[in-house]
Each structure stands twice: as structure tokens, then as C-alpha cells.
């Protein structure tokens, strides 16, 4: 008859205890590494910071898909100059529209007046009349023209605004300031004026050509609309 294996209950208890100890070690949290010694060099600090880390096995690296930048904002920005160009073109032919205004003294040649209308004179200074009532704007223009002539400036810019926000979009300053330049105290200092190019304000601004010295007040003829 074959012998039966010896049944030792102590051996079973020991194996059970060993298994419990193994499971306890696995479940214990890994203590955080101590902060590196500030006296250590860069290489020693790096080794201390990764101490206890488990390296990835071979082939365990993970590829991160490339991030594609959102170009919708860039496209929107690139479209803005084109939109601005379209708005400029809308006012490009102001010299050939009913909004164009010109005035010149009889002692100014037609050639010089045409050069002023084409914006060939360098603008030395400007005055902005936006937000002013008519009486204040007239006084401001007279002071500006007198000061500019004293400084020896040849061509200046008077910004009246187009009047898009005024009642009925009439543009009180745009309509009244040219007549004031032709009839008011500044007329003796002015040789000519004309609506500006789009880059300088278009129909909402005037190039003003000044005399080198004031003369007796003479009449300046004012015309509106396309030229010949």
C-alpha cells in the first residue's frame, strides 16, 4: 500500500503568512523621494530625482500625435488688409465724385492747383476739427492757418470729418469750412485748397496751400463735383 503524504498544518500556515506579507508589501505606498541636497551637482540632483522610478520596458514608449495649430485666426487676420483695401477703394475716386471740393485764388496757376488736388505736396501739419461746433471750428482753423504760415509751412491738412454721424449725414463742418477758408479771415493767407486723397482723409479732409506772406484779401472761387 503506498504511503500517504504527511499532512503538516504548520507548513500550510507558514505559506499562508508568507503570501499575506507579500500582498502587504505590494499595497504599501511608495515613499516620496527626499528633496535633493542643494550642494549636489546637476547630475547628482537628476539621479536623486529619478531614484526609485521604474524604467519603461523595451517597446513601451508612446508616440504623441503632432499638434496642428489652429490657423483660422491667422486667416482672419490676413483678410483684414483686403477688407481695408476695399474700404479705401470706395473713396478712391473722390476727385471724380460730387463730394470733391476745390478752391483757388485767381493768381495760382492751374498746374499748381492740379498738383495740390493730386496730393503731390508734402503735408507739414494738420488740425482735427472732429467734435467741434461750427463757431469753434472756424476760430480753430483761423488760428491754425496763421500759426502754420508764421512757421513757413507750405501745405497743411484740415480734417473736417465726413459727417457720417451727424444728423442726416450732412457733415456741417465738411460743407462749411471750405466756404470759411474762401471768405473768412484766413482767405488772405490761402492760395488754394482741395479734398484730400483717401490716405489723408478723402472727402473728410482738405489740403490747404498757403501763401508765403499774406496779401490783401481776395476772393477764392469754390467748386464742387468732378473736375474737367
CB 160 within 8 A of CB 204: yes
Domains and CATH numbers, the chain: 87-220 (3.30.1370.110)
- In 3-state terms, what secondary structure has residue 47? helix
In this prediction, residues 16-45 reach a mean pLDDT of 64
Question: What is the signed CA dihedral for 188, 192, 197, 202, rounded to 10 degrees?
Answer: 60
pLDDT of 87: 41
Q: Render pLDDT for 179-208 as a digit per residue (tens, 0 to 9).
A: 999 999 999 999 999 999 999 999 999 999
The mean pLDDT of the chain is 75
Q: Which of 34-38, 39-43, 80-84, 171-175 has the highest mean pLDDT?
A: 171-175
Contact (Cβ atoms closer than 8 angstroms) between residue 220 and residue 190: yes
**pLDDT mean over 62-66:** 53
The residue ranking higher by pLDDT, 83 or 192, is 192
Q: Evaluate if pTM is beyond 0.75.
A: no
The pLDDT value recorded for residue 99 is 85
Residue with cell 496730393: 119
Amino acid at each position: 500500500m503506498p504511503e500517504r503524504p504527511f499532512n503538516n498544518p504548520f507548513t500550510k500556515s507558514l505559506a499562508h503568512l508568507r503570501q499575506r506579507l507579500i500582498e502587504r508589501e505590494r499595497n504599501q505606498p511608495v515613499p516620496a523621494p527626499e528633496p535633493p541636497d542643494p550642494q549636489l551637482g546637476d547630475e547628482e540632483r537628476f539621479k536623486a530625482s529619478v531614484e526609485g522610478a521604474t524604467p519603461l520596458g523595451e517597446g513601451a514608449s508612446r508616440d504623441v500625435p503632432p499638434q496642428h495649430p489652429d490657423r483660422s485666426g491667422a486667416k482672419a487676420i490676413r483678410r483684414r488688409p483686403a477688407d481695408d483695401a476695399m474700404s479705401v477703394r470706395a473713396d478712391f475716386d473722390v476727385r471724380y465724385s460730387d463730394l470733391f471740393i476745390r478752391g483757388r485764388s485767381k493768381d495760382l496757376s492751374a498746374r499748381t492747383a492740379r498738383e495740390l488736388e493730386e496730393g503731390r505736396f508734402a503735408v507739414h501739419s494738420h488740425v482735427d476739427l472732429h467734435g467741434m461746433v461750427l463757431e469753434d471750428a472756424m476760430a480753430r482753423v483761423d488760428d491754425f492757418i496763421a500759426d502754420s504760415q508764421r512757421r513757413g509751412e507750405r501745405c497743411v491738412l484740415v480734417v473736417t470729418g465726413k459727417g457720417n454721424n451727424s444728423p442726416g449725414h450732412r457733415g456741417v463742418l465738411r460743407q462749411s469750412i471750405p466756404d470759411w477758408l474762401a471768405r473768412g479771415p484766413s482767405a488772405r493767407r490761402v492760395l488754394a485748397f482741395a479734398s484730400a486723397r483717401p490716405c489723408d482723409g478723402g472727402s473728410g479732409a482738405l489740403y490747404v496751400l498757403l501763401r508765403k506772406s499774406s496779401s490783401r484779401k481776395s476772393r477764392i472761387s469754390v467748386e464742387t463735383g468732378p473736375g474737367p
